Amino acid sequence: MELPSWLNEANPKMNCSSRGVLRRSTFITKTLNDIVKFLHEAVFSESIARQKGFLQCLDPRVKVLIVFYLLIVVNLCSNLVLLWSFYGGLLIVAFLSKLPLRQVLSRVWLVIPIFTGIMILPSLFSWVREGDPLWVIWRFQNPLHLGLLNLPPVLAVTKQGVAGGILLISRVGISVSLAVVLTLSTRWGDILRALRSFLVPRIFVAALEMTYRYIYVLIQAMEEIFIARKARDAGQSSSKEQRKFIAAAMGGLFGKSLQMSEEVYSAMTARGYSGEVRILYQDRIAWQDFFIMVLVILAGLIMIVANKVL
């Protein structure tokens, strides 16, 4: 007696019905597995933040301040050589902090070029942004008139449009990379406490904290609902019954979240909550943190001056 191979797999691509026929996983199952996998990566990020590395040793308040400063510097810089040199230095710092470079790269460059590229697509053409033609798409005999718009007779991709698009994608990608490095090297609770140190409203910090925790709880509840259904279904339900179950699961999850919020609020008021969340402050900033912060500020100023010179 041996277990079937698909039963020994952690995330089997195929599941078996009660008739012994293999059937592919549904779209809902795949989506749920991807959501749970993403959240597990978020939990793993906190385990990375607890490791001993270069960025992990810095005070969270200093890291938040440095990231905001570098975001301003990156978006003021228009030289691609300087931007990508800065990005190379950021990857070196991430490596010294023992951050998974594959995760840092995949979280940014698998998404940013697509969404940012869609936004900048119209600016590549001469009808939106005039410039030197790089690739002529079509030549019309006469200028076009669309209402109050007077369009030139040549539709082309311009050099200025392509250069501006590359610059925008570079800025957005590097800015998001800064945020990814910050979240990977710092625990979520420490980031919230750092925001509170910069006079961010308490209610905003409390809402972020509770939202972050509620996501895990609700996703876990949703996973348990689908696993229980899958264990009792055995692949015999029709499409109509499955749609009814999805609707009922959505309503049940909404009711459970509402009940949970009331229970949490009752527990908070029983422990003395009166509308103000009390946050424990961290230790004082060490001299090493001041030293790193001064170096980063000087490097940012040098980058801005070099951008003006070049």
Read off the pLDDT of residues 260-290 as tens digits, 9 standing for 90 and up. 888 888 887 888 776 666 655 556 778 888 9
103 falls within a domain: yes
299 falls within a domain: yes
304 versus 243: the higher-pLDDT residue is 304
90 falls within a domain: yes
Burial of 228 (0-12, 13-18, 19+ CB in 10 A): exposed
Kindly indicate the confidence band of residue 18, based on its pLDDT and cuts at 50, 70 and 90. Answer: very low
CA 141 to centroid of chain Cα atoms: 48
Question: Mean pLDDT, to the nearest integer, of 150-159?
Answer: 82
Who's near 213: CB < 8 A, 6+ residues apart? none
The pLDDT of residue 25 is 53
Tokens matching residue 8 = 């020994």
Cα distance between residue 62 and residue 289, in whole Å: 7
| Contact (Cβ atoms closer than 8 angstroms) between residue 169 and residue 116 | yes
Who's near 96: CB < 8 A, 6+ residues apart? 53, 54
Specify the 3-state DSSP secondary structure of 78: coil
Local structure of residue 54 (DSSP, 8 states): T
249 falls within a domain: no
User: What domain count does the chain have?
Assistant: 1
pLDDT at 85 over 80: yes
Report, in this order, helix, strand and coil percent for the chain, each rounded to 5.
Answer: 65, 10, 25
The segment with the largest mean pLDDT, out of 85-89, 144-148, 216-220, 244-248, is 85-89
Specify the 3-state DSSP secondary structure of 152: coil
The pLDDT of residue 218 is 78
pLDDT at 204 over 90: no
Cα distance between residue 24 and residue 30, in whole Å: 10
Tell me how many degrees the CA angle 107-112-117 measures, rounded to the nearest 5. 160
190 falls within a domain: yes
Of 17-31, 92-106, 158-172, 204-218, minimum mean pLDDT range: 17-31
Nearest to 170 by CA among 256, 80, 104: 80
Kindly indicate the confidence band of residue 27, based on its pLDDT and cuts at 50, 70 and 90. Answer: low
| Contact (Cβ atoms closer than 8 angstroms) between residue 209 and residue 192 | yes
pLDDT at 74 over 90: yes
206 falls within a domain: no
pLDDT at 236 over 70: no
64 falls within a domain: yes
Confirm whether pTM is higher than 0.85: no
170 falls within a domain: yes
Nearest to 257 by CA among 291, 203, 211: 211
pLDDT at 3 over 60: no
| Domain interval for residue 93 | 52-201+285-309
pLDDT at 254 over 70: yes
The pLDDT of residue 39 is 64
Specify the 3-state DSSP secondary structure of 155: strand
